[in-house]
Amino acid sequence: MPSARQATALHELSVPEAGALLRSGELTSVELTRHALDRIARLDPALHAFILVTERTALERAEAADRDLRAGTDRGPMHGIPYALKDIFDAEGVPTTNASWLRTGDVARTDSTVERRLRAGGAVGLGKLTTFEFAVGGPSFDLPVPPARNPWSEEHVPSGSSSGSGAAVAAGLTRVTIGSDTSGSTRGPAFHCGAVGLKPTYGRVSGHGAQTLSRTLDHFGPLTWTVADAAAALQVIAGADPADPRTAGAPLDDWTAALGRGVAGLRVATSPGWYADDPLTMPEITTGIERALGVLGGHGASVEEVTLPPYDVFNACGRVVFAAEAFAVHQDDLRRHPRSFGRYTYQRVMPGAGIAAADYLRAMDVRRWLKRQLDETVFDRHDVLVTVCGQTTAARWSDFPENWPPPKLANDMQTIPFSVTGHPALSLPIGFAADGLPIGLQIVGRAHDEATVFRVAEVLEAELGERHRRPQGIDIDHTGGNS
């Protein structure tokens, strides 16, 4: 009987599967890393998922990971596992460009907290991933790097702003990426690229050493191929950080141990008013969510419909907060170097200049009210909310006009509400639409209860996730070869 390694191409091994082989000596981190680097060299010229590949340091870190394991030192669930960072996170000695002409010469002097924890955990950094400029903007051609492509279709965008993360994971260039999510920047690319994207609870993961976009909306988390991969990554990067006061008091959990516990007895809420009753939602997405709810019921969970506050209220509140805070971050450069910004970035950030302090404070009051409403409506009586993540499959490049926002994207994603409230939210793939592109849903949990979100996601992934299916035209080898 073939071993797990012989039966599966290395990029198809989950983090736990690869970790078991590393610890048994059947696989080395150097082999795993070389495999990833070979795929990047072969496939990324057409995808533009990576801004920079750090091949030499990756192999050095892989060799160190192998030495540690041979010496009996195990640094945790990501030990020896390759990953890549969205190019807003600092890694010492490596440029952090933010995909902007304003930052092309910036080389990080220290590690971000996320990078430091991954390094301490024995993980192997492959390089930096493409992003929208400053994690905002759009898929622009007026930046120092080309935009990432969607591996499922060259005619469609991978969403953003963690665009390179979605493309890299879908194409099997790496299992694990770390991105940011301010209004859906991890969940959106996961949804449109058929991957798993987690926005943890606000403050769960430190943003120290990462580019700020909106101080009270920014979240940081993994975009991966499977739920187990995401749990392993979160286990390493989460935790309080004296350098980031937003992380104070965030209790830790053993998220990898939560897997395998099933959903029997869990109480699941759903909000058909946000998808089934909205004519903008593709029928396949509504059907997919209903099918997922049936799966959960079949596994012993109870399902109840709830009525949430209108999405437009969350959206309006979030956009005021976002605009005011994003302008505050970039106002000096906007005044001194306005022509150095990409067109989409400028158009998205400048409106914040017109937001009065009274309007911002009023939006923050509404925000607190919305969080109370969500807790009282859902989480006082239910363990999770299963709802829509996006209403349509990925946009076409031709959908992007001269000015922001593209009409098709104006109401496309239902991710902003949980950035506003700070609850953990995970985008999970649940199949494909008639156009052959991925679709998914969103699982939302109580604050600091990512464990239950993972439990629900794992059950749905096993029945609906189609993790064996990769983009056509991407060379997938299930025979154990080196492709």
User: Which pLDDT score is estimated for 483?
Assistant: 41
Residue 307 pLDDT more than 70?
A: yes
User: Which pLDDT score is estimated for 2?
Assistant: 39
Residue 4 pLDDT more than 80?
A: no
Expressed in percent and rounded to 5, the helix, strand and coil fractions of the chain are 45, 15, 40
Residue 433 backbone phi and psi in degrees, to 5: -85, 175
User: Which pLDDT score is estimated for 425?
Assistant: 99
Beta bridge partners of 440: 429
pLDDT digits (tens, 9 = 90+) for 252-284: 899 999 999 999 999 999 999 999 888 889 999
- What's the one-letter identity of residue 365? D
User: Which pLDDT score is estimated for 479?
Assistant: 31
Residue 412 pLDDT more than 60?
A: no
User: Which pLDDT score is estimated for 279?
Assistant: 86
pLDDT digits (tens, 9 = 90+) for 335-346: 999 999 999 999
Closest CA to 215 of 328, 369, 70: 328
- Kindly state the average pLDDT of the residues 198-206: 98
Give the torsion through C-alpha atoms of 395, 398, 401, 402, to 10 deg.
130
Q: Which residues are catalytic?
A: 86, 161, 185
- What's the one-letter identity of residue 124? V
Residue 136 pLDDT more than 90?
A: yes
pLDDT digits (tens, 9 = 90+) for 101-125: 999 989 999 999 999 999 999 999 9
Which pTM does this prediction carry? 0.95
Integer Cα distance of 416 and 413 in angstroms = 8
Residue 8 pLDDT more than 90?
A: no
User: Which pLDDT score is estimated for 249?
Assistant: 77
Integer Cα distance of 73 and 161 in angstroms = 37
- What is the H or E stretch that residue 22 is in? helix 15-24
Residue 122, CB-side half-sphere exposure with 13 Å CA sphere: 26
Residue 480 pLDDT more than 70?
A: no
Give the torsion through C-alpha atoms of 208, 213, 218, 220, to 10 deg.
-50
Residue 119, CB-side half-sphere exposure with 13 Å CA sphere: 16
Q: Residue ranges of the domains in the chain?
A: 4-241+251-464
- What's the one-letter identity of residue 199? K
- Kindly state the average pLDDT of the residues 178-191: 97
Percent of the chain with pLDDT over 90: 89
- CB 167, CB 416: distance < 8 Å: no
The mean pLDDT value of the chain amounts to 94
pLDDT digits (tens, 9 = 90+) for 413-458: 799 999 999 999 999 999 999 999 999 999 999 999 999 999 999 9
User: Which pLDDT score is estimated for 481?
Assistant: 36
Q: Which two tokens stand for residue 255?
A: 């998220």
Integer Cα distance of 135 and 330 in angstroms = 12
Closest CA to 82 of 178, 203, 210: 178
User: Which pLDDT score is estimated for 45?
Assistant: 97
User: Which pLDDT score is estimated for 407?
Assistant: 54
Integer Cα distance of 344 and 288 in angstroms = 33
Distances (CA, A) of 150 to 25, 159, 474: 35, 8, 11
pLDDT digits (tens, 9 = 90+) for 67-80: 999 999 999 999 99
Class level of CATH domain 4-241+251-464: alpha beta
First to last CA, the chain: 22
Percent of the chain with pLDDT over 70: 94
- What's the one-letter identity of residue 388? V
pLDDT digits (tens, 9 = 90+) for 79-102: 999 999 999 999 999 999 999 999
Q: Indicate the length of the chain as a whole number.
A: 483
User: Which pLDDT score is estimated for 458?
Assistant: 99
- CB 55, CB 6: distance < 8 Å: no
Residue 6: pLDDT band (50, 70, 90) is low
Closest CA to 416 of 304, 274, 288, 295: 274
Residue 210 pLDDT more than 90?
A: yes
User: Which pLDDT score is estimated for 272?
Assistant: 95
Residue 409: pLDDT band (50, 70, 90) is low
Distances (CA, A) of 110 to 12, 119, 180, 208, 447: 32, 12, 19, 11, 31
- Kindly state the average pLDDT of the residues 198-213: 98
